[in-house]
């Protein structure tokens, strides 16, 4: 009989924490709240809001007011589940629609008034990586596998083994965007299916040969679209195979849709009303995937992007830092001068430590982005020694960097773009997570880190002292050191003029 006064009084209570991941998708917003205990992530609570954000994205990539309001309304619902969560225990990622929307920053600023947490817009490859991470932690097998996730605006394809993704791609085809394009007015015609399937196969031409060469032992589908299709395929009228879906079953489902003629007349058990409007587009995309990648059958995984985010948040379950691997791969690919990168990184981090408190930039995120920028500032040197900073910025802005979201890549690109030569403040990006003056100060720190290593040699630079105020930097060298370095002094004088563009005064002695 339980002890009514002190139930479970003798049970040891282990340290636990709660974490939450929110996926701001093109079709739905998904929140997952989990409990972390003894190295295990236990799902406690889920919230799903059907938003169809991509429906409001026009041909000029402007997100209309109505779609934005649907999104904000959904965030108000989600906010109730995140009350009192510390910032470090919440991660919010946004995918295709906010990647593409030119006015996404306005929506993100409005969202910050509802949810006091940073919103990360992640690239397609990063989305694919996180999806695979979620699947890898919940589906265990030893062979190579293909993972497919059909979203509202994009579809991700990953080949991986164990916890390691080997191939990551995101293609611009999704159930919401394809509904707008091919299934207007809720009509379900065979010609519409043919056009949608052909369009999807054209997209798949970018990856089909490489993926088929790589091969896989099993094929796993994620997302609500694929789940719904597989659930419906269990219906006897489709002659299903337990837990799997095949091309013949998908073709049969397409025939049922065409016979119905319109979405309103589509009468399939296990299909929810909110899934009906985008079902045909998702089905067409999946048929194209089966055809182009010669898939025999697909099974479903409940884990997807938000679960991947959760597992990555829990440090006990993560593997070696993916950013480290990304940076090392980039440095190898572009033959970065590793010794010089280390010199610049060391001095830049030393300057940062001396400045961070007075300049109010003591942030793990800012320190990390500054550090990676110092290590990768010369990735563009291989392209051309003239305008290296521009080439480096282009690479960091546009290359797939697993582990980094879009704003992080933009910040690094901005820092390396202005690590030397003239600064143009009007061309510096507007960030949603970082005030302009913080970005300007990071630029100044990186520039000094590079300038103080201009000789590209070890053991030349003496100990220096850095003092900063709100708009000034004072660099103090050992007495008499600068007197014997006329060229170095001239470089500092030039830098003094350059930093005036950021409203910063450089003093040195």
pLDDT tens sequence across 5-25: 555 454 454 557 888 999 999
Class level of CATH domain 16-121: alpha beta
Are the CB atoms for 339 and 457 separated by under 8 Å? no
For residue 39, the model assigns a pLDDT of 63
Give the per-residue pLDDT at 43.
Answer: 84
CA angle 464, 468, 474 (to 5 degrees): 50
Nearest Cα residue to 131 out of 141, 114, 146, 144: 146
> Is the pTM value of this prediction over 0.85?
no
CA R_g for the chain: 26
Length of the chain equals 509
Q: Provide the phi-psi class of 6: left if phi over 0, else alpha when psi is between -120 and 50, else beta.
A: beta
HEC letters along 431-465:
CCCCCHHHHHHHHHHHHHHHHCCCCCCCCCCCCCE
Q: The CATH number of 140-300 is which of 3.20.20.10, 3.90.226.10, 3.30.420.150, 3.30.70.141?
A: 3.30.420.150
CB 429 within 8 A of CB 435: no
Please check whether the two domains, 16-121 and 140-300, share a CATH topology. Answer: yes
The three-state secondary structure class of 294 is coil
The residues spanned by each domain of the chain are 16-121, 140-300, 322-460
Alpha-carbon span 22 to 309, nearest angstrom: 9
Which residue in the block uniquely carries the two structure tokens 């694929």? 226
Residue 38 has pLDDT above 80, yes or no: no
- pLDDT tens digits for range 297-355: 999 988 889 888 888 887 544 445 677 878 888 888 888 899 999 999 999 999 999 99
Query: Is residue 241 scored above 70 in pLDDT?
Result: no
Cα angle, residue 316 at apex, residues 314 and 320 outer, rounded to 5°: 95
Residue 244, beta-bridge partner list? 241, 299
- Per-range mean pLDDT, top range of 175-189, 199-213, 313-327: 199-213
* Contact (Cβ atoms closer than 8 angstroms) between residue 14 and residue 84: no
Contact 298, 220 (CB under 8 A): yes
Give the angle 188-192-193 at the CA atoms, nearest 5°.
85
Q: How confident is the model over 103-123, as pLDDT tens digits? A: 999 999 999 999 999 999 999
pLDDT at 381: 87
Say if residues 25 and 48 touch (Cβ distance below 8 Å): no
CATH 1.10.3210.10 fits 322-460, yes or no: yes
CA gap 461, 457 in Å, rounded: 9
Q: pLDDT digits over 362-391, tens only?
A: 988 899 899 999 999 999 888 888 888 999
**Mean local confidence (pLDDT), 239-261:** 83
Q: Tell me the C-alpha distance between 75 and 73, whole Å.
A: 5
Other C-beta atoms within 10 Å of 231: how many? 17
Share of the chain above pLDDT 90, in %: 56
pLDDT at site 11: 47
Calpha distance 316→41 (Å, rounded): 10
Interatomic CA distance for residues 416 and 211, integer angstroms = 34
8 A C-beta contact, residue 304 and residue 223: yes
**Tokens standing for 108?**
């993100």
Alpha-carbon span 398 to 412, nearest angstrom:
11
């Amino acid at each position: 009989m339980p002890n009514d006064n002190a139930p479970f009084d003798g049970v040891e209570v282990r340290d636990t924490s709660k974490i939450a991941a929110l996926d701001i998708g093109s079709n739905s917003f998904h929140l997952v709240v989990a409990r972390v205990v003894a190295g295990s992530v236990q799902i406690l609570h889920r919230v799903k809001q059907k938003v169809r954000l991509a429906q409001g994205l026009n041909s000029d990539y402007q997100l209309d007011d109505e779609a934005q309001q649907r999104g904000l309304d959904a965030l108000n619902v989600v906010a109730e589940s995140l009350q009192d969560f510390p910032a470090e225990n919440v991660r919010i990622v946004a995918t295709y629609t906010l990647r593409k929307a030119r006015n996404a920053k306005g929506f993100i600023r409005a969202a910050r008034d509802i949810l006091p947490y940073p919103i990360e817009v992640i690239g397609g490859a990063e989305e694919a990586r996180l999806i695979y991470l979620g699947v890898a932690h919940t589906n265990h097998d030893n062979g190579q596998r293909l993972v497919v996730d059909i979203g509202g605006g994009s579809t991700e394809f990953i080949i991986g083994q164990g916890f390691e993704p080997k191939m990551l791609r995101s293609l611009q085809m999704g159930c919401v965007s394809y509904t707008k394009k091919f299934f207007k007015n809720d009509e379900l015609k065979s010609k519409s299916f043919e056009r949608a399937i052909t369009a999807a196969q054209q997209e798949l031409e970018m990856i089909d040969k490489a993926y088929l060469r790589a091969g896989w032992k099993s094929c796993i589908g994620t997302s609500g679209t694929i789940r719904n299709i597989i659930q419906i395929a269990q219906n006897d009228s489709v002659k299903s195979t337990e837990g799997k879906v095949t091309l013949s079953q998908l073709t049969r489902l397409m025939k049922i849709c065409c016979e119905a003629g319109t979405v309103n007349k589509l009468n399939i058990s296990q299909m929810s009303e909110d899934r009906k409007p985008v079902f045909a587009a998702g089905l067409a995309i999946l048929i194209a995937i089966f055809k182009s990648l010669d898939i025999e059958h697909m099974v479903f995984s409940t884990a997807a992007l938000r679960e991947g985010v959760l597992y990555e948040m829990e440090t006990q379950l993560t593997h070696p830092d993916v950013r480290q691997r990304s940076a090392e791969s980039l440095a190898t690919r572009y033959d970065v001068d590793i010794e010089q990168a280390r010199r610049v990184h060391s001095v830049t981090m030393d300057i940062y430590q001396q400045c961070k408190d007075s300049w109010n930039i003591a942030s793990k995120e800012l320190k990390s982005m500054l550090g990676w920028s110092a290590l990768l500032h010369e990735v563009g040197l291989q392209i051309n020694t003239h305008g290296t900073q521009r080439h480096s910025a282009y690479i960091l802005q546009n290359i797939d960097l697993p582990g980094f979201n879009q704003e992080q890549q933009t910040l690094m690109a901005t820092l390396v773009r202005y690590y030397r030569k003239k600064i143009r403040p009007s061309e510096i990006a507007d960030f949603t997570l970082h005030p302009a003056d913080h970005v300007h100060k990071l630029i100044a720190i990186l520039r000094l880190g590079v300038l103080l290593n201009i000789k590209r040699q070890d053991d030349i630079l003496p100990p220096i002292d850095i003092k900063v105020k709100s708009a000034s930097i004072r660099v103090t060298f050992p007495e008499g050191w600068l007197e014997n370095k006329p060229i170095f002094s001239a470089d500092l004088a030039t830098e003094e003029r350059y930093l005036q563009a950021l409203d910063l005064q450089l003093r040195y002695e």
